[in-house]
Amino acid sequence: MQMLLLRWGGIALAVPLVLLLLIQAVPYGRDHSNPPVRQEPAWDSPETRALAVDACFDCHSNETDWPLYSNIAPASWLIQHDVDAGREKVNFSEWDRAQEEADELAEQVEENKMPPKYYRWFHSEARLSSAEREALVRGFQAMFGEGEAGEGGDEH
């Protein structure tokens, strides 16, 4: 009986390991490109930019820092998806194009929706203090106001 349990235990460990190795062959999630920075917004202060770099740039710029675990599926798939989606909605490196959700940045930060909680678990620099969060909200409000952001062009 003990031998049977050891055999099944070994299989129970081997199957997930084999699956983990097999999914590494899926090519999605390893495009760790950082296109050139074309244009940043007109920051209201260096402090706002520094806070945005810490809390936002990994998903919302072309200056993503790709950690080692971003090369291992399935984490690579989730990270690639988040970066692709983040860059599409707001990209601080491509302010020469329309920014889909730039006018919602202050609200998202103020309501603690951004950066996402799961991101903050792995990135201590994105864990903003209350004072930092308030400063970033004020900075975004100063930069975008109500209904101004997201139009692209030279005014940003």
Is 150 a residue whose pLDDT tops 60?
Answer: no
Least confident among 82-86, 93-97, 116-120, 146-150: 146-150
Task: Give one word for 87, left, alpha or beta, with left for phi > 0 and alpha for psi -120 to 50.
Answer: alpha
Query: Using CA atoms, how far apart are residues 149 and 99, in angstroms rounded to an integer?
Result: 7
Q: Which helix (H) or strand (E) holds 41?
A: none
Query: Using CA atoms, how far apart are residues 155 and 43, in angstroms rounded to an integer?
Result: 12
Nearest residue to 73 (alpha-carbon basis) of 34, 26, 31: 26
End-to-end CA distance of the chain: 71
pTM to 2 decimal places: 0.79
Taking CA 30 as the corner, what is the angle to CA 126 and CA 34, rounded to the nearest 5 degrees?
Answer: 60
Q: What is the pLDDT of residues 7-52, one digit of tens each?
A: 666 677 788 888 888 878 887 777 788 999 999 999 999 999 999 9
Answer yes or no: are the C-beta atoms of 58 and 64 closer than 8 Å: yes
pLDDT at residue 57, rounded to an integer? 98
Q: What is the pLDDT of residues 61-109, one digit of tens each?
A: 999 999 999 999 999 999 999 999 999 999 999 999 999 899 999 999 9
